[in-house]
Chains A and B, each alone.
Chain A
Amino acid sequence: DIQMTQSPPSLSASVGDGVNITCRTSQTISNYLNWYQQRPGKAPKFLIYGVSNLQTGVPSRFSGSGSGTDFTLTISGLQAEDFATYYCQQSYRTPWTFGQGTTVEVK
């Protein structure tokens, strides 16, 4: 299985801050990397696919970058609704696997 390691596990930030969440994979996955957002008690929401492509309707303050084994989700100018847990996921090879999540908390 391809292992997904996210860092940090959690971070504290304020509205307006910029944050970076890192995802590292145990083997190269080319550009087959997706990101999801999950608010407490809710189903995950699909944000970004193929490293850097925003799903329709996702605000432009979200961006993704990286390649190979190292990827980053950036939120530029946090909004109140962005405080949530974020998961990376690889779609290079089954079994599809997710990172353990990074929780963005209010400072």
Chain B
Amino acid sequence: QVQLQQWGAGLLKPSETLSLTCAVSGESFSDYFWAWIRQPPGKGLEWIGEVRHSGNFNYNPSLKTRVTISLDTSKTHFTLNLGSVTAADTAVYYCARQNHKAAAGTFGVKVFDSWGQGTLVTVSS
């Protein structure tokens, strides 16, 4: 049973860099994409990006210029860095595993099937 445990600074000032880490246990690190998703207070979910052990990555174009997601395979951690934060980046940030499920009428469906506990990051001067 995979477990994701995340941590990082919860209060930032505008223009600083957000940095969060997610530790993965209980499952092979190399077989999946590992993702970050955020949720502003009272709002819906926004996919930030994802990275795979092989080095493949995908980022949301809306955040691409400010985002880096990296892997530390020796420690089975992955990290989100989001630069030049503003109040609009205030949100609960989740790490998640992206799995691949077989389904009729598809070539396999990508799903976020395991999630970290979430970290509230507040950006305020």
Q: Please give the residue numbers on chain A whose beta carbons come within 8 Å of chain B beta carbons, in ascending order.
A: 1, 30-32, 34, 36, 42-46, 49-51, 53, 55, 67, 87, 89, 91, 94-101
Question: Separation in Å of the A29 CB from the closest CB of chain B?
Answer: 10
The answer, among B103, B109, B115, for a CB contact under 8 Å with A43, is B115
Interchain Cβ contacts under 8 Å between A and B, 19 examples: A31-B104, A34-B109, A34-B111, A34-B112, A43-B118, A45-B115, A46-B111, A49-B101, A49-B109, A50-B104, A50-B109, A53-B103, A87-B44, A94-B60, A95-B47, A96-B110, A98-B47, A99-B44, A101-B45
Chain B residues, Cβ within 8 Å of A51: 103, 105
Does the CB pair A98–B105 fall under 8 Å? Answer: no
- Complex interface: chain B residues within 8 A of A42 (CB): 118
The A-contacting residues of B in range 100-125, CB under 8 angstroms, are: 101, 103-106, 109-118
Total residue contacts A-B, CB cutoff 8 A: 74
CB <8 Å contact, A30 and B111: no
Cα A46 to Cα B94 in complex, Å, equals: 14
Asked whether, in the complex, the Cβ of B103 is within 8 Å of the Cβ of A49, the reply is yes
